[in-house]
C-alpha cells in the first residue's frame, strides 16, 4: 500500500488553515520557543522552561483574542462600548473562584502558594493613576506592550524601552513612596474567609458588567453585535481572531497554572525594574545594589542572578515570543518603522509613566489588577479605581499626540 508523500502538511484542511502565514517569522518564533526552553531547562531547571512556554501561551492568547486592557477601557470611556470590560469581569470571576479556596488553604498540589497582596496607601493611589495615563499615551498596558512588541509593533518597542527606564527610576525612589501613609496589606480572603470574599467579589463583577450593559444600551440602544469571523474551525484556532471571552477564560486558567507552577500569581513589571537595574549597574550609571529596593533579600538575589532564574523575566520573554508566533500565524507580522514624531513623544512619556507608576503601585494591570484582585488584595481594587481615573485623563490627552480615540474595539492591544 503506497504511503502519501504529502504527510500531515499536505492535508487540504491543514494547508488551508496555514495559508497566508508569515513563514519566516513563524519559523523564527518556533525556533526561539524550542531553543529558549532547552536553554532555560539546562541552565536553570525544567520547571523554569515550562514557565517560559507558559508565558508563550499567554502571549498567543493575548494576541489571538486581542485582549487589550487599554483599548477596552478607552472605548468604554469614549463611547460606552463595554464588551472588553465585561470580558475582564469574566476573567476575574473565574480567577477568583479558582484562587480563593487555594490561597485560603495555603497550598496547591502540595506546593505552598501565596497571593500578590500589597500595602494599600498613597503609593498605590498615585502610581496607578499615572499608570492609567501612561496606558493611553504609551498605547498599551504591561501585557499589551509585551504582546504588541512580539506582534511587530515598532512604536511599542519605544514604549517598552521607556517602560523599563521608568521602572528602574521607580525602583530607585520606591523606599520614599513606600514610607508614605498606608494601612498595610489587606487580604479580603483572610479578613472575610474564602467563600464570603468570593461571593462579594462575584457580586461586584456582576454589578460592573451590568452597569456596562446599561450604559452601552443607553448610548446606542443595543449592545454591539459581533461581526462575522474571517476564519472558522482549525484555521481560526491556529490563526485567530478568537472571541474575547475565550481569551478571558484562557487567561484565568493560565494564571492559575502559573500559581501552581511558581507558587504565586502572574506578574510582569517587576522584571522591567530588574532589567533596567542590571543595565544601569553593568554600564556604571548607578550603584543600584545600594538602593533600598534591591536590599530586600529576595530582590537582592534576583539582582545578583541571571535573568533566566527570575520567573517573571522568563515568562515575559515567553509572552513576546508567543505573540510573535501568533502574529506570524495570523499573517499580520509586518513591522512599520516610520512613526510620527508626536506618536514617538507619546510613547516616550507614556512608557515612563507606565514604568514609574507600576513600581509605586506594586504592579500593573496584571500584577496589581488581575492577580491582585484574584489574590483577594484590597490594593487591587484601589488600583482599578485610580488607574481607570488615569485612563479617563489619558484618553482625553491622546488627540494632542495625534493618537486615535476609536469608537469601537479593534484587533489591537493598544
Phi/psi-derived region of residue 40, left when phi > 0, alpha when psi is between -120 and 50, beta in every other case: alpha
Cell numbers for 217: 444600551
The confidence score (pLDDT) of residue 68 equals 86
Beta-bridge partners for 107 = 112
Query: Which of the residue ranges 14-18, 48-52, 135-139, 201-205 would you say has the lowest mean pLDDT?
Result: 14-18
* Dihedrals phi, psi of 374, to nearest 5 degrees: -65, -25
How would residue 145 be classed by pLDDT, with cut points 50, 70 and 90?
Answer: confident
How would residue 9 be classed by pLDDT, with cut points 50, 70 and 90?
Answer: very low
DSSP secondary structure of 292-348: GGGGSHHHHHHHHS-GGG-HHHHHHHHHHHHHHHHHHHHT---------HHHHHHHH
Which one is predicted more confidently, 254 or 407? Answer: 254
Alpha carbons 339 and 400: distance in angstroms, whole number: 16
Average pLDDT over residues 304-329: 95
User: What is residue 408's three-state secondary structure?
Assistant: coil
Q: What is the DSSP letter of 369?
A: I
The confidence score (pLDDT) of residue 147 equals 84
The confidence score (pLDDT) of residue 190 equals 97
pLDDT tens per residue across span 81-138: 999 999 999 999 999 999 999 999 999 988 899 999 999 999 999 999 999 999 999 9
The confidence score (pLDDT) of residue 7 equals 42
What is the chain's mean pLDDT, rounded? 91
Alpha carbons 216 and 209: distance in angstroms, whole number: 11
The confidence score (pLDDT) of residue 25 equals 87
Cell numbers for 369: 489588577
Which one is predicted more confidently, 407 or 162? Answer: 162
User: Does position 356 have pLDDT exceeding 60, yes or no?
Assistant: yes
**% of the chain surpassing 70 pLDDT:** 93
User: Does position 334 have pLDDT exceeding 90, yes or no?
Assistant: no
The confidence score (pLDDT) of residue 411 equals 46
How would residue 330 be classed by pLDDT, with cut points 50, 70 and 90?
Answer: confident
The confidence score (pLDDT) of residue 17 equals 52
How would residue 335 be classed by pLDDT, with cut points 50, 70 and 90?
Answer: confident
User: Does position 236 have pLDDT exceeding 70, yes or no?
Assistant: yes
User: Does position 4 have pLDDT exceeding 70, yes or no?
Assistant: no
User: Does position 3 have pLDDT exceeding 50, yes or no?
Assistant: no
The confidence score (pLDDT) of residue 11 equals 54
How would residue 409 be classed by pLDDT, with cut points 50, 70 and 90?
Answer: low
User: Does position 187 have pLDDT exceeding 60, yes or no?
Assistant: yes
Average pLDDT over residues 133-155: 88
Place of cell 511599542: 156
User: Does position 62 have pLDDT exceeding 50, yes or no?
Assistant: yes
User: Does position 157 have pLDDT exceeding 80, yes or no?
Assistant: yes
Which one is predicted more confidently, 394 or 148? Answer: 394
Which one is predicted more confidently, 5 or 144? Answer: 144
Amino acid at each position: 500500500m503506497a504511503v502519501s508523500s504529502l504527510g500531515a502538511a499536505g492535508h487540504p484542511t491543514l494547508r488551508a488553515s496555514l495559508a497566508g502565514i508569515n513563514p519566516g517569522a513563524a519559523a523564527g518564533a518556533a525556533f526561539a520557543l524550542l531553543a529558549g526552553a532547552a536553554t532555560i531547562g539546562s541552565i536553570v531547571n525544567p520547571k523554569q522552561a515550562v514557565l517560559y512556554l507558559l508565558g508563550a501561551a499567554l502571549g498567543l492568547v493575548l494576541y489571538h483574542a486581542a485582549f487589550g486592557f487599554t483599548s477596552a477601557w478607552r472605548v468604554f470611556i469614549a463611547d460606552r462600548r463595554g464588551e472588553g470590560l465585561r470580558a475582564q469581569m469574566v476573567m476575574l470571576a473565574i480567577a477568583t473562584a479558582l484562587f480563593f479556596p487555594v490561597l485560603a488553604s495555603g497550598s496547591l498540589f502540595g506546593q505552598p502558594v501565596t497571593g500578590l497582596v500589597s500595602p494599600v496607601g498613597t503609593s498605590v493611589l498615585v502610581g496607578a493613576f499615572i499608570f492609567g495615563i501612561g496606558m493611553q499615551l504609551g498605547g498599551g498596558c504591561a501585557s499589551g506592550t509585551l504582546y504588541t512588541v512580539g506582534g511587530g509593533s515598532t512604536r511599542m518597542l519605544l514604549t517598552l524601552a521607556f517602560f523599563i527606564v521608568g521602572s528602574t527610576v521607580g525602583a530607585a525612589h520606591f523606599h520614599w513612596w513606600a514610607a508614605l501613609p498606608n494601612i498595610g496589606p489587606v487580604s479580603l480572603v483572610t479578613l472575610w474567609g474564602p467563600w464570603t470574599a468570593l461571593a462579594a467579589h462575584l457580586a461586584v463583577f456582576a454589578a460592573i458588567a451590568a452597569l456596562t450593559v446599561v450604559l452601552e444600551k443607553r448610548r446606542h440602544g443595543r449592545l454591539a453585535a459581533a461581526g462575522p469571523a474571517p476564519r472558522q474551525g482549525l484555521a481560526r484556532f491556529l490563526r485567530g481572531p478568537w472571541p474575547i471571552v475565550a481569551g478571558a477564560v484562557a487567561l484565568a486558567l493560565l494564571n492559575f497554572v502559573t500559581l501552581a507552577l511558581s507558587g504565586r500569581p502572574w506578574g510582569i513589571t517587576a522584571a522591567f525594574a530588574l532589567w533596567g537595574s542590571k543595565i544601569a549597574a553593568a554600564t556604571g550609571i548607578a550603584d543600584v545594589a545600594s538602593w533600598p529596593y534591591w536590599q530586600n533579600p529576595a530582590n537582592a538575589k534576583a539582582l545578583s542572578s541571571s535573568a533566566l532564574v527570575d520567573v517573571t523575566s522568563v515568562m515575559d520573554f515567553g509572552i513576546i515570543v508567543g505573540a510573535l508566533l501568533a502574529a506570524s500565524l495570523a499573517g499580520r507580522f509586518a513591522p512599520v518603522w516610520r512613526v510620527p514624531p508626536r506618536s514617538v513623544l507619546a510613547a516616550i512619556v507614556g512608557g515612563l509613566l507606565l514604568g514609574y507608576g507600576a513600581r509605586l503601585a506594586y504592579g500593573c494591570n496584571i500584577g496589581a489588577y488581575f492577580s491582585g484582585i484574584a489574590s483577594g488584595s484590597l490594593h487591587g481594587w484601589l488600583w482599578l479605581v485610580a488607574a481607570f481615573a488615569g485612563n479617563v485623563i489619558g484618553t482625553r490627552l491622546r488627540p494632542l499626540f495625534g493618537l486615535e480615540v476609536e469608537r469601537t474595539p479593534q484587533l489591537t492591544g493598544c
